[in-house]
Amino acid sequence: MSAGLVGMLLGLTAATGLLLAVGFAPPFRQVRLVDRLAPYVHDSPAPSRLLGTLTQPGMLTAARRVFGPVLADGARYVDRVLGGRVAVRRRLDALGGDSTVEDFRIEQVVWGGLGLLGGAVLTGVGSAFAGSVNVLSAVLLCVAGLVGGVLGRDWWLTQQVQRREELLLAEFPVVAELLALAVTAGESPTAAIGRITRLSGGELARELRSTLDRARSGVPLVEALQQLADRTSLEALARFVDGLIVAIERGTPLAEVLRAQAADVREAGKRRLLEAGGRKEIAMMVPVVFLVLPVTVVFALFPGLISIVSLAQ
């Protein structure tokens, strides 16, 4: 790496640090309304940390402690540019976590920063091998890394929701049949849900357990179940929750309804397996047509071609 390139990179780094230090200094920062009202609003004291659950500090917590104001400003900018808070909130609820939209936007900013850093590293490596710097290529690569990181976090959230929904569908028939057995044995729907959540694990059992915990904390059970139905995007699970709500409100028989819903989900799973098998069968034709068949044709025609060439000579 030449001395001019090293000097340019060091100057760019120093200029970037100076701009960040000056731009985020207290005299130049815009005072938010929350900061203005905070001295005049006395919030309730925080509860004892002994009453909370022990959580391991993750990347998001560490990044917030180090780069809190920068991440907050970046999250607000990303939210203004991308929008779609309702869709993000729906997917976060379907994921079953406690993350907010602001937490997700901060994660997008962190992913974008990592993508920008990766683009800068690739630019530096390419410039070191080439001996010169193409400014346009470097800027485009860094911008591509930044945008790819921000959009990649959104794509990964969609993939997480899809995998969780697949797990919910796989667990639903067993949970529905267990609930049907418990209700047939004489237990109420609430007691049956409590028994199933104690004896089983998985995503659906955790959803039912959180619903039952909200009901025990003071929320009506019907309202807690309706919140579960509103969060999910699975039609089978929504029908299942609606059946539970009707049974609790009106006292209708529930065992046969749960068995029928479990049978419907099993049939839907069989149809999905058949569809996946059909797609895999079509995908298997690609190596057969483009690899195996040409090699077979070459082996079949090559001896005759050699014979024709030898006779022509």
Express each pLDDT in 117-128 by its tens digit.
898 888 888 888
Element at 128 (helix H, strand E): helix 101-130
Tell me, yes or no, if the pTM score tops 0.75: no
Per-residue model confidence (pLDDT) at position 63: 65
Per-residue model confidence (pLDDT) at position 151: 92
Per-residue model confidence (pLDDT) at position 282: 83
Per-residue model confidence (pLDDT) at position 266: 80
Q: Are 74 and 109 in contact (CB under 8 A)?
A: yes
Q: Are 91 and 161 in contact (CB under 8 A)?
A: yes
Checking 17-26 for CB contacts under 8 A at 24+ apart, the result is 20/70, 24/69, 24/70
Residue numbers in the chain where pLDDT is lower than 70: 1-2, 26-31, 34, 38-66
Per residue in 92-151, pLDDT (tens digit) is 888 877 788 888 888 888 899 889 889 888 888 888 887 777 788 888 888 999 899 999
Place of tokens 């990964």: 156
Chain center to CA of 129 = 37
- 303's CB contacts (< 8 A; 6+ apart) are none
Tokens read off for 40: 């005049």
Per-residue model confidence (pLDDT) at position 273: 82
Per-residue model confidence (pLDDT) at position 148: 92
The string of DSSP letters for 144-166 reads: HHHHHHHHHHHHHHHHHHHHHHH
In this structure, how many other beta carbons lie within 10 angstroms of the beta carbon of residue 41? 7
17, 18, 19, 20 alpha-carbon torsion, rounded to 10°: 50
